[in-house]
Amino acid sequence: MSATTLTIPDQKKVGMVSLGCPKALVDSERILTRLRADGYAMSPDYAGADVVLVNTCGFLDSAKEESLEAIGEAIAENGRVIVTGCMGEEAEAIRARFPQVLAVTGAQQYEAVVEAVHEAAPPTQGPFVDLIPQPDEAGVKLTPRHYSYLKISEGCNHSCAFCIIPQLRGKLASRRIDAVLREAEKLVAAGTKELLVISQDTSAYGVDIRHDPRMWKGREVRAHMTDLARELGQLKTPAGEQPWVRLHYVYPYPHVDAVIPLMAEGLLTPYLDIPFQHASPRVLRAMKRPANEARVLERIRAWRAIAPDLTIRSSFVVGFPGETEEDFQYLLDWLEEAQLDRVGAFRFEPVAGAQANALPDPVPEAVKEERYARIMAVTERISAARLAAKVGRTLPVIIDEVGEPEADDWGNIAIGATGRSQADAPEIDGQVLLRDAPATLAPGDMVNAVIEDSDAHDLYGRIAG
């Protein structure tokens, strides 16, 4: 009797190029988690992939061009490409330039993406492979193990003149509070030590579902930013540590005041990412955004009185149609008074479909460049001063990267490490660069660091001890 050899087919492999904001990164993680559950493996390069997904950004024309370049590169390197994400809403433009793409889907269209992958590269799971549990509790992560993005809602109810996000991602659609907390709990149990709460408008969480209450841990919790923040502040890692909880995309609604005491109590990371966009009341009205900038300054002072270590980051648009030199100077004066810790600035770009395109008095490109240089000079000086005030302090730091051992001129072995303080969100803010780190240090470790020096963006120091 001869033996029969059973050949288990190789897993089909999917490559992923993820562009744009952290919200798009979460979409990529969800797509890959679903595909892995369907039996696909992930390919780290074009050559090994049976099909490549490109998750695009479509917010600005420059971002669209970057997305098109990424699609072109994927086609050149692999040839079998599926496009998804925000720019997927412009399928005709994508197909006109790249008629060979296999499929185009829009943002959050997870089922359509998975179906397109199944058609392009049918899964090869056999009767034995099907028995193997594919995803773990936390799913596929595209970030390091020690921090994770927690998306609480999709879409936005604002109608800002410069933005097309509602057209791309729809109106506000909040997740159930118990589903959000369950995901957060699983992430922390799986090794996450920093949760980054994201959405298009974190402050509006739950408005669309009337702050629908759900039972959680034997008590009723509302789908509301303050309830969510309080519950996230109760989480503990397997080692009993409290993870950092960082709030992004927070509009300064009145109830934001209620989360500041949670920061003072240590339940939340003392950090707010608030998209102010401008300060001039006239420009804010033209942008169709809240224009009570004087009240905001009062609230910032009150927040810092409650939580002195509060870090505020924001972004501003310069050169919006109709912005005068007086408007721009108003913004600079406001920044001097607000003393924001972290600031990003963007030159206004017309975006197809945005209301701002029809506004009169466009600002010349040369004037945009000059104003951009001026705002960056002001905010860099403010940042340098605020960081210099931290020299001599001992701050908690989360380690992101540990360097290779190096010998100095005297034969002493030294290891450097890169981390972040509570004032630093990954990828967008500064870093804490540490010297003489112990060889046992690893990414995700929490340490106390003595700050010895600073510049306009980063801190420098050593581990306390």
Enclosing H/E stretch for 386:
helix 365-388
Given a cut of 90, whether residue 384 has pLDDT beyond it is yes
Q: Are 422 and 269 in contact (CB under 8 A)?
A: yes
Q: Residues spanned by CATH 2.40.50.140 within the chain?
A: 394-463
| Least confidently predicted of 36-40, 183-187, 421-425, 455-459 | 36-40
* Residues pairing with 272 in the sheet: 247, 312
**For 211, left (φ over 0), alpha (ψ -120 to 50), or beta?**
left
Q: Compute the average pLDDT of residues 343-362.
A: 88
**Tokens linked to 336:** 């001097």
In contact, 286 and 160? CB cutoff 8 Å: no
Q: Rounded to an integer, what distance in angstroms lies between the CA atom of residue 415 and that of residue 408?
A: 11
pLDDT at 380 over 70: yes
- Which regions of the chain carry the CATH code 3.80.30.20? 147-388
CATH class, domain 147-388, is alpha beta
Lowest mean pLDDT among 216-230, 346-360, 427-441: 346-360
The SS3 call for residue 367 is: helix
- 190 has a pLDDT exceeding 70: yes
pLDDT of residue 293: 64
d(CA 425, CA 58): 23
Measured between alpha carbons, how far is 264 from 303 in angstroms, rounded to an integer?
A: 10
Question: For 223-273, what is each residue's pLDDT tens digit?
Answer: 999 999 999 999 999 999 999 999 999 999 999 999 999 999 999 999 999
User: Given 2.40.50.140, 2.130.10.10, 3.90.1640.10, 2.60.40.10, which CATH number is that of 394-463?
Assistant: 2.40.50.140
For the chain, how many helices (H) and strands (E)? Answer: 12, 22
* From-to residues of CATH 3.40.50.12160 in the chain: 13-131
The amino acid occupying position 208 is D
3-state SS record for 237-278:
CCCCCCCEEEECCCCCCHHHHHHHHHHHCCCCCCEEECCCEC
Instruction: From 92, 84, 109, select the one nearest 17 (Cα to Cα).
Output: 84
312 in Cβ contact with 356 (< 8 Å): no
- What is the predicted pLDDT for the residue at 286? 93
Buried b (16+ CB within 10 A) or exposed e, 437-456: beeebebbbbbebebeebee
Token representation of residue 156: 């936005």
For residue 90, the model assigns a pLDDT of 86
* Backbone torsions φ then ψ of 126, nearest 5 degrees: -100, -175
CB–CB of 59/167 below 8 Å? no
Domain 13-131 has CATH 3.40.50.300: no
Are 213 and 222 a contacting pair, CB within 8 Å? yes
Phi, psi of 328 (to 5 degrees): -65, -40
Give 388's DSSP letter: H
